[in-house]
Amino acid sequence: MLQRHDYRRKPEDRRGLSDQITPLVAINGIIILVLVNLALNAPSASEWISAAAQAEYVGDGAASGTPTQIAEPIAAIKVVQSN
């Protein structure tokens, strides 16, 4: 059986959740600021980002849509019928 939601919760119950989320948001914000600062101020950071993007999306050009060698069976296939 379903239970009814207790709407008479105390405000300090909701405050506990806010106290848990705030440090996580602050830490993620600091990490993002550090990464953006690194990307804008370090001259080699743009080269790292470019090399990573090329490695991820461009590839080395060796892959093609058609196979290089078609597989062939080693021996002839024999069909056996039972009477």
Each of the 83 residues of the chain gets a pLDDT tens digit; together they read 567 766 666 555 556 667 788 899 999 999 999 988 888 888 787 788 788 888 887 655 555 566 567 777 788 778 888 87
Q: Give the pLDDT score at 31.
A: 94
Output the pTM of the full model: 0.41
Q: What SS3 state is found at 75?
A: coil
Within 13 Å, how many C-alpha atoms sit on residue 63's CB side?
4
